[in-house]
């Protein structure tokens, strides 16, 4: 039995674990990666024996990771996945039962039986993943998300391609482009779906500047590197098709209107890697599975987890921090994690005077960070309906796990006019029933249902999540009655 189990060792998970541990709680942190840091501070394996990353522009990152790694009350279970959260009140005949048991499995040896960990509180800090976009050829080997490309560079020091096109609408494209250029790649083009910000938009972005000059300096450095290598940059352009059989050998780019719908001529660009970056989707499957209320906020990433000022969800004892609260970046995730850790300590009656000072600083950091994140969210919100239109060609695969094509989706919607939710389409046509549990297709499916019903996307709802939320061996279930 532990006081707190944290899922995720990114900025939010590490901060929450530290504050809870500093308050005297015993904390177990579970993460699928080999080391703490999350996607934003992903580190190479210790066996690589490389110099510590600079973590620019986040000067606080190294200290946070060091304190987390060395804290005596924090136990880490890396290379492990949490596949479900079970409330004790649902598992016994005692309605007053409190606490949870969390199903997890170590991934170093898939044959090893899983285990269930008893805990009083759970903190879900599972981060986010790159927003998938379906278009003809998007399942071709050589089409990757920008986050996946960065992961290979950061954690494995592998350059996944030599002649690369980056396409999307998120500023991460510029950061990734600099990293790729410094690693020796050739960038054929950077294609942005949105246009260049106008004067009015730039004026509205001014609140993001204070306390975030290091971020702007980092972006300026990336822009200088891109200009030095004379990388072509196009605006109001999207990828409409990836070409190639066994691997990508080129892509088609099209100009788009203000609704991101292709118009005019299209052109071919030769490449052996396409990196897509239209934004991020919060990783909320565990929160959905345990029954937390979800709310729709498109600029923040779509469906996010509802929570109070202590970051407690609508399921008592389950807390959330970081990107599941809305994609907002490392600064806000760190501050939110601190607030959540203090809220957890308070819920267990162990917060003192020193923690109140920490909470005051965290609240101030949240306000400052949110000024920046709100500007980024507003300026770079993806046009979800426009992107869904890219999947229209009938042969386009929409659900890659179950190999459901766009034509099959259209047929189901035409044949069943009563289908008004993504879950209904899932039940009728198996979209979202594969190993990814809808993480790849939910956005496209929800948008297509909304278009068919002529309603906003949020009216399509979201896919429900069931145990296991991630693929695990059947042998894992042998331990469902065992608890430690």
Q: Is the pLDDT of residue 110 over 90?
A: no
Write down the residue that tokens 């959540």 correspond to. Answer: 340
Assigned token pair, 53? 């990353």
Confidence of residue 30 (pLDDT cuts 50, 70, 90): very high
pLDDT, greater one: 44 or 169 = 169
Q: Which residues contact 44 (CB under 8 A, 6 or more apart)?
A: 50, 154, 155, 156, 157
Strands (E) in 287-370, as ranges, are 294-297, 302-305, 318-320
Judge whether residue 53 has pLDDT over 80: no
* H, E, C per residue of 51-96: CCCCCCCCCCHHHHHHHHHHCCCEEEECCEEEEEEEEHHHHCCCCC
pTM for the model: 0.94
pLDDT reported for residue 357? 86
Strands (E), 114-196: 115-124, 128-130, 143-145, 163-168, 186-192
Question: How far is C-alpha 375 from the geometric centre of its chain's CA atoms?
Answer: 19
Could you list the beta-strand ranges (E) of 278-430: 280-282, 294-297, 302-305, 318-320, 397-399, 404-405
Q: Which of 12-16, 109-113, 121-125 has the lowest mean pLDDT?
A: 109-113
Return d(Cα 393, Cα 59) in angstroms, integer: 47
Token pair in block for residue 384: 């979800």
Question: What is the bridge-based pairing of β-strands 262-270 and 250-256?
Answer: antiparallel
pLDDT band at 51 (very low <50, low <70, confident <90, very high): low
Residues in the chain: 484
- CA–CA gap between residue 143 and residue 450 (Å, rounded): 27
In this structure, which topology does domain 384-460 adopt according to CATH? Answer: Arc Repressor Mutant, subunit A (1.10.10)
CATH class of the domain defined by 134-277 = alpha beta
DSSP letter at 312 equals B
- Average per-residue pLDDT for the chain: 91
Task: Name the nearest CA neighbour of 148 among 312, 309, 277.
Answer: 277
> What digits encode the pLDDT tens for the residues 402-433?
999 999 999 999 999 899 999 999 999 999 99
Which tops the pLDDT comparison, 324 or 217?
324
CA distance 4 to 102: 11
> Given CA atoms 31, 33, 36, 41 in this order, what sign does their dihedral have?
negative
**Fold match between 2-129+280-378 and 384-460?**
no
Give me the phi and psi of 240, to 5 degrees please: -105, -15
CA 376-30-144 angle, to 5 degrees, is 50
Q: Which residue has the higher pLDDT, 473 or 309?
A: 309
Separation CA 127–CA 129 (nearest Å): 7
Tell me how far apart the alpha carbons of residues 241 and 136 are, in angstroms, rounded to a whole number: 5
The pLDDT value given to residue 189: 97
CATH homologous superfamily of 2-129+280-378: FAD/NAD(P)-binding domain (3.50.50.60)
Encoded tokens for 361: 């600083």
Q: Which one, of 43, 463, 383, lies nearest residue 193 by Cα? A: 383
Q: How confident is the model at residue 157 (pLDDT cuts 50, 70, 90)?
A: confident
DSSP tag of 416: -
Nearest to 284 by CA among 314, 318, 320, 309: 320
> What's residue 77's pLDDT?
94
| Residue 305, phi then psi, degrees to nearest 5 | -90, 125
Q: Tokens at residue 32, please?
A: 């699928």
Q: Where are the domains of the chain?
A: 2-129+280-378, 134-277, 384-460
């Amino acid at each position: 039995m532990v006081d707190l189990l944290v899922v995720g060792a990114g900025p939010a998970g590490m901060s929450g674990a530290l504050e809870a541990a500093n308050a005297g709680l015993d904390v177990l942190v579970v993460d699928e990666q080999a080391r703490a840091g999350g996607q934003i501070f992903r580190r190479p394996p210790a066996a690589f024996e490389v110099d510590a990353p600079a973590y620019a522009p986040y000067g606080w990152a190294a200290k946070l990771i060091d304190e987390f790694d060395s804290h005596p009350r924090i136990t880490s279970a890396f290379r492990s996945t949490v596949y479900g959260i079970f409330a004790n009140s649902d598992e016994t005949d005692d309605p007053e039962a409190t606490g949870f048991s969390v199903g997890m499995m170590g991934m170093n040896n898939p044959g090893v039986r899983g285990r269930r960990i008893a805990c009083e509180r759970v903190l879900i800090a599972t981060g986010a993943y790159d927003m998938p976009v379906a278009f003809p050829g998007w399942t071709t080997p050589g089409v990757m998300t920008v986050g996946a490309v960065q992961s290979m560079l950061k954690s494995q020091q592998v350059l996944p391609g030599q002649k690369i096109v980056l396409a999307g609408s998120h500023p991460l494209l510029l950061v990734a482009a600099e990293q790729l250029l410094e690693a020796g790649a050739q960038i054929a083009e950077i294609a942005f779906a949105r246009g260049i910000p106008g004067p009015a938009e730039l004026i509205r972005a001014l609140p993001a500047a204070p306390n975030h000059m290091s971020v702007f300096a980092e972006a300026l450095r990336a822009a200088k590197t891109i200009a030095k290598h004379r990388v072509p940059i196009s605006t109001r352009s999207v990828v409409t098709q990836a070409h190639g059989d066994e691997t990508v050998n080129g892509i088609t780019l099209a100009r788009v209107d203000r609704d991101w719908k292709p118009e005019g001529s299209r052109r071919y660009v030769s490449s052996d890697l396409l990196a897509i970056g239209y934004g991020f989707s919060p990783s909320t499957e565990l929160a959905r599975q345990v029954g937390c209320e979800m709310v729709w906020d498109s600029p923040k990433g779509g469906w996010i987890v509802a929570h109070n000022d202590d970051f407690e969800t609508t399921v008592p004892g389950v807390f959330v921090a970081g990107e599941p609260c809305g994609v907002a970046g490392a600064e806000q995730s760190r501050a939110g994690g601190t607030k959540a850790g203090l809220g957890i300590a308070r819920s267990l009656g162990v917060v003192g005077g020193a923690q109140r000072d920490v909470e005051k600083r965290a609240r101030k950091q949240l306000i400052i960070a949110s000024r920046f994140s709100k500007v980024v969210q507003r300026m770079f919100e993806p046009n979800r309906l426009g992107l869904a239109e890219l999947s229209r060609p009938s042969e386009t695969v929409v659900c890659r796990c179950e190999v459901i094509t766009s034509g099959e989706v259209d047929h189901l919607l035409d044949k069943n006019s009563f289908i008004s939710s993504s879950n209904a389409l899932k039940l009728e046509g198996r979209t979202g029933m594969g190993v990814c549990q809808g993480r790849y297709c939910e956005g496209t499916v929800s948008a297509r249902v909304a278009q068919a019903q002529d309603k906003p996307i949020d009216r399509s709802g979201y896919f429900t999540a069931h145990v296991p939320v991630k693929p695990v061996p059947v042998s894992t279930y042998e331990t469902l009655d065992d608890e430690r």
